[in-house]
Structure 1
Amino acid sequence: MRFSVLASGSTGNAVYVENDEHAFLVDVGLSGKKMEQLFAKIDRDMKKLSGILVTHEHSDHIKGLGVVARKYNVPIYANEKTWTAMDGHIGNIPVDLRFHFEMEALKSFGSLDIQSFAVSHDAADPMFYVFHEEGRKLAVITDTGYVSDRMKGHIRGADAFVFESNHDIGMLQMGRYPWSIKRRILSDVGHVSNEDAAVAMSEVIFDKPTQIYLSHLSRDNNMKDLARMSVAQTLQSCGIIAGELVHLHDTDAEEPTKLVMV
């Protein structure tokens, strides 16, 4: 199993996951043209996509969904409430490309198993995904106001995480956003901060080599260096030293990460 965080941030999100038989996108939050450019950078062909897994209906996760699905004839998987919330925002999707992937469900595509799980976000029915193959595990979790014990149960022990590290609380509090938006981000249906993300990570990491991709960083209320430093310091306070078994990686709103094996 291999993956690349194609883009991550408040302007658009997409994660690519493949094995030798299948290839999936988690969300298409950028234009079709930009998605084609990102695929070229990781030397992959969008014509070979097996499906698109939708997490929720916010525009930074579905901006290019309809265009990509129609152009490349790619099946879309989403739960019923998310399908309803997306209608009118992604154009007409042919019936043969519309599939349901309900909450807390497991779907198998050959040797690749994909588990969905609920998160806490201000969307219709938001959920993220864990990928399993031959004892290896990749967990993708962003867009949640907190990480519950149930979420931790789903992602615990992954070999690689795409994990939200959205904001620095101090930057957010002192920043230009109106209080209503700050309150939404800080709420249980908003986004997790660097420190809260690290505390949650400390409770799901096993004593083995683990790769963590810090994701969905706010353009206005975070910085890569700050997120990495904050997460590393908080992990250290929990007894986990970044750079030994656990390795932290940046993601970017414009550039994909290298395609790496889980």
Structure 2
Amino acid sequence: MRFSVLASGSTGNSIYIETENHAFLVDAGLSAKRMEQQLESIGRSMKNVDGILVTHEHSDHIKGIGVLARRHKVPIYANEKTWSAMNGLVGDIPTEQRFHFNMETSMTFGSLDIQSFAVSHDSVDPMFYVFHENDRKLAIITDTGYVSDRMKGYIAASDAYVFESNHDVSMLQMGRYPWSIKRRILSDVGHVSNEDAAIAMSEVVAEKETHIYLSHLSKDNNMKDLARMSVSQTLEACGIRTGEFVHLYDTDAEKPTELVTV
């Protein structure tokens, strides 16, 4: 199983995952043209993609879905409430390309099993995904105001994580955002901070080689170096030293990460 974080941030989000016989996108929050360019930069194209898995209906996760679906005849998977919320946002998608992936269920594609699980975010029915192939596990969890014990049960002991580390609390509190937006981000249906993300990580990582990609960083209220330092320090305070079996990586709003094997 291989993956690349094609884009991560408030301007657009998408992740590419492939096995020997199947490939999927999780979200397509860039324009269709940009999505095609991002795939090309890792040596892939929409011809490789068997489907797009939608997490929720916010624009930074679905911006390119309608055009990609129509242009490339690719299947789109989302839960029922998210499909309803996307009506009018993604244009017409043919019935034969519209598939329901229900909350907290699994779908199997050859050797790949995909589990969906609920998160806490201010959208109609947000959910993320865990990918299993043989004994390897990749968990994707962003856009959640907190990480519950139920979420931890789904993502525990993964070999790789794409894990939200959205903001530094002090930067957010002192920044230019109006209080209503600050309150939303800090709420249980907003986004997790660097420190809260690290505490959750400390409770799910197993004592094995684990790769964590810090994702969905706020452009205004976080920095890559700060996120990495904050997460590393918090993990260390929880008894986990990064660089031993836990390794941290940056993601970017513009540049895909290297296509790596889980």
- Report the Cα distance in structure 1 between the residues aligned to 2:179 and 2:48, rounded to whole angstroms: 45
Give yes or no for the alignment of 1:90 onto 2:90. Answer: yes
CA RMSD, 1 decimal: 0.4
- Give the structure-1-normalised TM-score: 1.00
- Report the Cα distance in structure 1 between the residues aligned to 2:221 and 2:114, rounded to whole angstroms: 32
- Report the Cα distance in structure 2 between the residues aligned to 1:126 and 1:137, rounded to whole angstroms: 21
Tell me the amino acid that sits aligned with residue 235 of structure 2.
L
Give yes or no for the alignment of 1:182 onto 2:177. Answer: no
- Report the Cα distance in structure 1 between the residues aligned to 2:140 and 2:192, rounded to whole angstroms: 14
- Report the Cα distance in structure 2 between the residues aligned to 1:249 and 1:69, rounded to whole angstroms: 31
1:70-125 deviations in Å (ceiling 9; x for gaps): 11110000000000000000000000100000000000000000000000000000
Partner of 2:16: 16
- Report the Cα distance in structure 1 between the residues aligned to 2:244 and 2:202, rounded to whole angstroms: 14
Tell me the amino acid that sits aligned with residue 249 of structure 1.
Y
Give yes or no for the alignment of 1:212 onto 2:212. Answer: yes
The secondary structure found in structure 2 opposite 1:137 is strand
- Report the Cα distance in structure 2 between the residues aligned to 1:71 and 1:239, rounded to whole angstroms: 49
State the shift of 1:48 in Å.
2.0
Give yes or no for the alignment of 1:81 onto 2:81. Answer: yes
Q: Percent identity?
A: 75
Listed as ranges, the gaps of 5+ residues in structure 1 are: none
1:135-181 deviations in Å (ceiling 9; x for gaps): 10000000000000000000000000000000000000000000000
Flag as ranges the 4+ runs of structure 1 deviating above 6 A.
none
- Report the Cα distance in structure 2 between the residues aligned to 1:213 and 1:46, rounded to whole angstroms: 23
Tell me the amino acid that sits aligned with residue 238 of structure 2.
C
Partner of 2:33: 33
The secondary structure found in structure 1 opposite 2:89 is coil
The secondary structure found in structure 1 opposite 2:114 is strand
Partner of 1:163: 163
- Report the Cα distance in structure 1 between the residues aligned to 2:89 and 2:154, rounded to whole angstroms: 30
Partner of 2:69: 69
Partner of 2:126: 126
- Give the structure-2-normalised TM-score: 1.00
Give yes or no for the alignment of 1:154 onto 2:157. Answer: no
Tell me the amino acid that sits aligned with residue 252 of structure 2.
D
1:206-241 deviations in Å (ceiling 9; x for gaps): 000000000000000000000000000000000100
- Report the Cα distance in structure 2 between the residues aligned to 1:46 and 1:244, rounded to whole angstroms: 37
- Report the Cα distance in structure 2 between the residues aligned to 1:75 and 1:48, rounded to whole angstroms: 12
Partner of 1:135: 135
Aligned residues: 262
Give yes or no for the alignment of 1:111 onto 2:118. Answer: no
Listed as ranges, the gaps of 5+ residues in structure 2 are: none
State the shift of 1:35 in Å.
0.6
Partner of 2:53: 53
State the shift of 1:69 in Å.
1.1
